[in-house]
Amino acid sequence: MAKRVTTQQLANEIEQIKDNHLAHMADDIDELKQAVKENRTFFQDRLDRMDNRIWLILGATVSTLVTIIGAFFGGMM
């Protein structure tokens, strides 16, 4: 037959869970928070660099377009 669990045993197990397992879970959550912050910083830096490159390409494209239009109209006159 199944062993009966007393209220005192159940209370002891609940205390053990609260003291041990929840403390470990809190530590794991803190480690995850730190890892997320580090990843956010890493990807934010990468996105900033990519943003600068996009603006550089856009500026080069616009200046090339202005040069071509200027040469076209300059040759007509």
For residue 53, the SS3 value is helix
5 within a domain of the structure (yes/no): no
Between the CA of residue 23 and those of 10, 17, 19, 30, 68, what are the distances in Å?
Answer: 19, 9, 6, 11, 68
31 within a domain of the structure (yes/no): no
25 within a domain of the structure (yes/no): no
70 within a domain of the structure (yes/no): yes
- Predicted confidence at residue 4, as pLDDT, reads 82
pLDDT tens-digit profile of 50-65? Answer: 999 999 999 999 999 9
7 within a domain of the structure (yes/no): no
pLDDT tens-digit profile of 2-49? Answer: 688 788 888 888 888 877 777 788 888 999 999 999 999 999 999 999
Range of the domain at 77: 53-77
**Number of domains forming the structure of the chain:** 1
pTM of the shown model: 0.53
